[in-house]
Amino acid sequence: MSTPNIKSVVENMVTPFLDEHGFELVDVEYVKEGSSWFLRVYVDKDGGIDIEDCGRISEFLSLQLDENDPITDMYFLEVSSPGAERPLKKSKDYVKAIGKHVFITTYESVNGLKEFEGTLVSFDEQTVVVSVGKKAHELPFTKVASARLAIQF
């Protein structure tokens, strides 16, 4: 099974459980590092998650994966918080991040830059507006390569 299909199968498998228990699925990664495969599931909830939450989710997902067996390779399952520098993946992530400090990279230059660190001013599905210093940059959403919350020092 291809990596995108594995991600989709895992998302479909775990989302009902997460919804039922008040968690939010942030991201699923299935990646090879060295000779080992890792299935990483990033989860959050209002107020943050703790180690017990990760354990419950991991136990549930492990049982589901054993029953359905969608992954043929040997892999390590990791369930964790997305951390302080949480990625912005979905539209709702961008909306929740308005007014917060972010780091955004683009596939190609916008206003002569490919990296933008500043305050997320607005988001409307087509355009991401980030204020860097005193200048606002309008980034076409289709040109955003990655975005995450950023810790401001």
Domain regions of the chain by residue span: 3-80, 91-149
Collapsing DSSP states into helix, strand and coil, what is residue 43? strand
What kind of fold does domain 3-80 have according to CATH? GMP Synthetase; Chain A, domain 3 (3.30.300)
pTM value > 0.75: yes
Task: Say how far apart CA 145 and CA 114 lie, in whole Å.
Answer: 9
Question: 3-80 and 91-149 share one CATH topology?
Answer: no
Query: CB of 24 within 8 A of CB of 87?
Result: no
CATH ID of 91-149, from 2.40.10.220, 3.40.50.1370, 2.30.330.10, 2.30.30.180 = 2.30.30.180
Task: Say how far apart CA 39 and CA 7 lie, in whole Å.
Answer: 9
Burial class (CB in 10 A: 0-12, 13-18, 19+), 74: exposed
Q: List the structure tokens of 113.
A: 């830059």
Query: CB of 40 within 8 A of CB of 28?
Result: yes
pLDDT in tens, the chain (153 residues): 666 688 999 999 999 999 999 999 999 999 999 999 999 999 999 888 999 999 999 999 999 999 988 888 899 999 999 988 999 988 989 999 999 999 999 999 998 999 999 999 999 989 999 999 899 999 999 999 999 999 987
